[in-house]
Amino acid sequence: MQLLPWLARTLGEQTRHRVYLAVQAAGHPLTRPEVADAVGIRARLAAFHLDKLADEGFLHVSYARPQARPGGPGAGRPAKRYQLSDIQIELTIPPRRTDLAARTLALTLQQLGPQGTHRDALLEQATICGRALAGVGQGDLAERLTELGYDPVKRPDGTVQLRNCPFYPVVEVAPETTCPMNLALISALASAKAPRRYEAALEPAEDRCRVLLHKARAQPTKASQLQSPAPTP
């Protein structure tokens, strides 16, 4: 398949590109009317572009009824819903296969085991990288994570979930090495952004990055740290 013509044919059309971005921004499955409202077009036109994106593998299709509508006879057909597929596209001219080098290095470190100087060096370099990335640009943490491809979204409780894992191809073959490295990188990035608002932690996940950013606990002020307890009479 010719990659450039395929991309231009699928995402080059302006309305279809906006439809794709609307589904991406939602972070959850959308119906045709929901996409139409988000883009400002008719549902029939939204359906045309959504189905084209699904046919080309950019979107995943599922069927479900609204939660308020029970199933059974007379409930009607389930609505067609669209969400991002797991397709990943990287274009470089001429081709570069840094993914092969990354997989080889990650598998080598994983084979050496979870403890040792090799693991310490990996996490140290990831921390240095995270601090360096924090110093690039003037945006806040969410903007920096977006630029790096993590696609952050805030949950109602304030936790920041990263909907995309930039290291997914390597995580797939060497998670015990790649995920701790990613955690060290994001922890350093979050800590370097003042004031510090988030603490990174690893949690199991199948459809997103395994790193979550929780609200940072309030740090004691210097005055409270220096204050000594009153003497007991």
Q: Which domains does the chain have, with CATH numbers?
A: 3-84 (1.10.10.10), 98-215 (no CATH)
How do residues 89-143 score in pLDDT, each as one tens digit? Answer: 766 667 778 889 999 999 999 999 989 999 999 999 999 999 998 887 667 888 8
Burial of 204 (0-12, 13-18, 19+ CB in 10 A): exposed
pLDDT in the model for residue 139: 73
Mean pLDDT across the chain? 84
- Cα–Cα distance between 78 and 53 in angstroms, integer? 20
Predicted local confidence at residue 228, as pLDDT: 47
Rounded distance between C-alpha atoms, residue 22 and residue 12, angstroms: 15
The pLDDT value recorded for residue 176 is: 93
Nearest to 20 by CA among 43, 51, 62, 63: 51
Cβ atoms of residues 143 and 151 within 8 Å: no
| Cα distances (Å, whole numbers) of residue 81 to 30, 37, 154, 163 | 5, 14, 22, 18
pLDDT per residue as tens digits for the range 169-214: 899 899 999 999 999 999 999 998 777 889 999 998 877 899 999 9
Handedness of CA 62, 63, 69, 71 (dihedral sign): negative
Cα(56)–Cα(196) distance, rounded to whole angstroms? Answer: 42
Q: pLDDT tens, 55-100?
A: 988 888 998 876 655 555 445 678 899 988 877 776 666 777 888 9
Q: Give the predicted TM-score (pTM) of the model.
A: 0.68
**Structure token digits, residue 142:** 């969410």
